[in-house]
């Protein structure tokens, strides 16, 4: 049988200050281990189990560190394309898994393959938010605040887009409080209401 010898030299004052010159202590230990076929097989099994455990721990840590769909939906960015979403239908349709723990790992988002920049007829389909294509999204340039009258023309903060023009609904007589809400003759539009006084 093969045998392995280990020799360990221990010095009691290794990390502390050096010993006095009169005392010099050394320990020498000899270990002899007999290696058999069953002990190497057991060692391989233990190493394989430890390796698999390390892989599963790394996978669990990486999955818990990735944001879930709920957390990532609250990402506030100044992306102009995201501001363009006035209707919830404009959001891309996605399927979610009913499995709670594996949701992040198994859920797959389905994206619309057809975009309006390549297929402009998509915007004229039934249920589309608008017939015009701006920045790969279907919009109506008659009512969209970010594309009022033409793609890329934004209305200022208090203004809304009515018939392709930016108007202030707080003071506009023809669009008082909303589009096409005209005030009667002799009344003014104040704070979005006709004849406020």
Mean pLDDT, 10 residues at a time, over the chain (197 residues)?
A: 47 48 46 59 86 86 64 42 43 48 58 76 90 93 95 94 96 93 91 83
Q: How far apart are CA 183 and CA 168, in angstroms?
A: 14
pLDDT of residue 106: 57
Query: What 3 state SS string does the chain have?
Result: CCEEEEEEEECCCCCCCCCCCCCCCCEEEEEEEECCHHHHHHHHHHHHHHHHHHHHHHHHHHHHHCCCHHHHCCCCCCCHHHHCCCCHHHCCCCCCCCCCCCHHHHCCCCCCCCCCCCCHHHHHCCCCCCCEEECCEEECCCCCCCCCCCCCCCCCCCCEEECCEEECCCCCCCCCCCCCCCCCCCCCEECCEECCC
Cα separation of 97 and 109, whole Å?
Answer: 10
Which among 160, 162, 159, 140 is positioned nearest to 151, based on CA atoms? Answer: 140
Q: What is residue 25's predicted lDDT score, i.e. its pLDDT?
A: 44
């Amino acid at each position: 049988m093969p045998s392995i010898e280990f020799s360990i030299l221990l010095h009691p004052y290794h990390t502390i200050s050096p010993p006095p010159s009169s005392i010099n202590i050394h320990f020498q230990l000899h270990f002899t281990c007999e290696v058999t076929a069953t002990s190497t097989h057991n060692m391989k099994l233990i190493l394989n189990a430890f390796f698999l455990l390390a892989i599963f721990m790394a996978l669990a840590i990486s999955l818990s560190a990735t944001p879930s769909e709920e957390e990532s939906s609250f990402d506030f960015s100044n992306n102009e394309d995201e501001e363009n979403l006035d209707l919830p239908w404009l959001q891309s349709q996605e399927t979610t898994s009913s499995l709670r723990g594996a949701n992040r790992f198994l859920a797959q988002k389905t994206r619309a393959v057809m975009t309006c920049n390549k297929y402009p007829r998509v915007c004229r389909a039934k249920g589309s938010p608008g017939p015009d294509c701006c920045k790969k999204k279907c919009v109506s340039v008659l009512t969209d605040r970010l594309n009022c009258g033409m793609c890329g023309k934004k209305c200022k903060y208090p203004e809304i887009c009515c018939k392709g023009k930016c108007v202030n609904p707080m003071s506009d007589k023809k669009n008082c409080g909303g589009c096409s809400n005209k005030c009667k003759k002799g009344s003014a539009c104040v704070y979005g209401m006709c004849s406020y006084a």
